[in-house]
Structure 1
Amino acid sequence: MSPWVNQIGFSQRVRLEWFEQTANLVLAGNDKSAVNNALQKLLKDKVSVNGQAERGNREKIITILLKVWLNAPAKLESLRVRGLELLRGLPRADHMAVHWGMVMAVYPFWSGVATQVGRLLKLQGSATAAHVQRRVREQYGERETVSRATRRVLRSYLDWGVLQKTDTKGIYTAGTTQPVDDSLLIAWLVEAAMHARANGLTTLKDLLDSPSFFPFRLKPTHAESLVGASSRLDILRHGLDDDLIMLRKQPTKRDSP
């Protein structure tokens, strides 16, 4: 597993509406200081109430929000900009998919937990927290930080409405499942998923059917359509019906004439 994909980072319970608010602040042209101040005000009565710790839960949540929609890693800058454009133009019902994609690209751990949840839901119609924990620790290591982060991510899924509780504690079923039909959004989600993977290429079917997208139903599409919708994706032919998708190498300043 590459160092990028092996990082955890996402260690807090973060609500969907907080990501939406952050993106709206960025789209309105606010700088980092203004966005930070607005988020501090938003979360003041919701997280770490009366807390004085320099790096309390509120500060950690704000760090996550800012890293996703304001100061994403350089290699994700074009993905971030395009994601903001999608949020500006798409119906509100499609916004969750954009936030999901950007979070999984910036924090592959989110995608790792989603993959295990999605697999369990597909196999048995429910996901037990203990089973998800065991599978995630097998991948990321037997560390308390892994267990704690997994709990926070699962709680985030509940907040987002993509999982729902059952009468049995620690057992969840699928919540909201949203169709994704917009070809530009599908191409963008495929790109986001590629950034969350350790390998540099995979089959189109594997991407579209990925358990990491368990809250969504991505419309079947052809590889040519994806590449036509995103200049950052490329096709590697592999048999008649098994196209491989990869991220296209982006030119750097050193590469420029």
Structure 2
Amino acid sequence: MPYSKRAKQIGIDRLVRLQWLEKTTNLLLAGNEAPEVKLALQEELSGAFRSNNTKVRGSIDKSITILLKIWSNVPKELLPLKEDGHKLLRTLHRENHIAVHWGMTMAVYPFWGAVATQTGRLLNLQGSAAASQVQRRIMEDYGERETVSRRVRYVLRSFLDWGVLEETSQKGIYTSREKIVIDDVHLISWLLEASLYARNNNSSPMQDLLSSPSLFPFQINPIHAGVLAGMSPRLECLRHGVDQDLIMLKNQSAL
């Protein structure tokens, strides 16, 4: 599904726990097919819900649909990114897995990236982010609907669950946790590529990518644009102006 279509879909309509994504990828990397993963996740998630009535079973299934869409049933154009993400999860230390889950979630669901961007901008501007401020900014792009406001809350609650935000003494006001340092060049390249898939034009000046508010939980070590582009066959670097490098996604049909 092209970005333009994915961007219009909010998709995330419930809490996405980091441990659930980790469980999903552990099952997939162990060689399980999607139907087997779904069965295992139904058992795993059942303890997180209050009862086994039909409504709750429906909520579990909807949560599993999101988890599998992120790491199994991804849009066609994201298949190479997913495969490289799986490779990273096999080789990276556990503490770096959060960056891989963050990047893939943002690529599959640009809405996640949109909420992260507005949250990151507020944190950079004033050191804290109010849920109401994030909701107001997101509704400027997605429409002033209660559905949008509610789903922003789901994403913010997910950020809390992932440990990248923490609550303050004031209800609905959040601050950031200590940033996670990303210094592995393969992970940096992959994460920045993932963030490009969440952008409308699939391109960005290099410096904007490295300091993107959508990646607010991470401190990304500097990397040369040429090195970045050389890490993935799907990236290219163009000189833009006198001293600015533009990183962009190649036309996938030409690969």
- Local SS of the residue matching 1:225: helix
Give, in angstroms, the shift of residue 240 of structure 1. Answer: 2.9
Match of 1:82 among 72, 79, 84: 84
**In structure 2, how many angstroms separate the alpha carbons of the residues matched to 1:58 and 1:192?**
27
Query: Do the aligned residues in 1 keep the contact of 2:240 with 2:246 (CA within 8 Å)?
Result: yes
Give, in angstroms, the shift of residue 55 of structure 1. Answer: 6.9
* Alignment correspondent of 1:50: 52
Q: Which amino acid aligns with 2:163?
A: G
Q: Which amino acid aligns with 1:52?
A: T
* Alignment correspondent of 1:199: 201
* Alignment correspondent of 2:4: 2
Match of 2:15 among 13, 16, 20: 13
**In structure 2, how many angstroms separate the alpha carbons of the residues matched to 1:161 and 1:105?**
20
* Alignment correspondent of 2:168: 166
Give, in angstroms, the shift of residue 152 of structure 1. Answer: 0.3
Sequence identity of aligned pairs in percent?
55
C-alpha spacing 1:8/1:55, structure 2 compared with 1 (3 Å): farther
* Alignment correspondent of 2:180: 178
**In structure 1, how many angstroms separate the alpha carbons of the residues matched to 2:103 and 2:159?**
14
**In structure 1, how many angstroms separate the alpha carbons of the residues matched to 2:111 and 2:242?**
33
1:86-235 aligned at under 5 Å gives the runs: 86-235=88-237
* Alignment correspondent of 1:30: 32
- Give the number of aligned pairs: 253
- Local SS of the residue matching 1:237: strand
Give, in angstroms, the shift of residue 54 of structure 1. Answer: 8.3
**In structure 1, how many angstroms separate the alpha carbons of the residues matched to 2:12 and 2:29?**
23
Deviation string for 1:7-65 (max 9, x for gaps)? 10011101101000000100011011110000000011112522313872211110010
- Local SS of the residue matching 1:116: helix
Query: Do the aligned residues in 2 keep the contact of 1:48 with 1:57 (CA within 8 Å)?
Result: no
TM-score, normalised by the number of residues in structure 2: 0.96
- Return 5+ residue gaps in structure 2 as ranges: none
- Return 5+ residue gaps in structure 1 as ranges: none
Q: Which amino acid aligns with 2:97?
A: H
| RMSD across aligned positions (CA) | 1.5
Higher helix residue share? 2
